Amino acid sequence: MTRSPTTWETDALTEKDFHDVVREGVTLVDFNAPWCAPCHAQLPILSRLAQQFQARASVISLNIDDYRRTAQDYGILNIPTLIIFRNGKEIQRFVGLQSEAVLSRALESIVD
CATH number, domain of 46, equals 3.40.30.10
Q: For residue 5, is it within any domain?
A: no
Residue 40's domain spans which residues? 15-111
Q: Is 4 a catalytic residue?
A: no
| pLDDT over 50 (residue 77) | yes
Q: For residue 3, is it within any domain?
A: no
Q: For residue 93, is it within any domain?
A: yes
With contact defined as beta carbons under 8 Å apart, do 29 and 19 qualify?
no
Active-site residue (options: 12, 13, 21, 39)? 39
48: left (phi over 0), alpha (psi -120 to 50) or beta: alpha
* Distance (Å, whole) CA 85 – CA 107: 10
* Distance (Å, whole) CA 107 – CA 58: 10
* Distance (Å, whole) CA 1 – CA 58: 14
pLDDT tens digit sequence for 36-59: 999 999 999 999 999 999 889 999
Q: Is 36 a catalytic residue?
A: yes
pTM over 0.85: yes
Active-site residue (options: 21, 28, 29, 36)? 36
Q: In percent, how much of the chain has pLDDT > 70?
A: 88
Q: For residue 10, is it within any domain?
A: no
| pLDDT over 70 (residue 11) | no
Residue 90's pLDDT is what? Answer: 97
| pLDDT over 90 (residue 67) | no
Greater model confidence, 98 or 21: 98
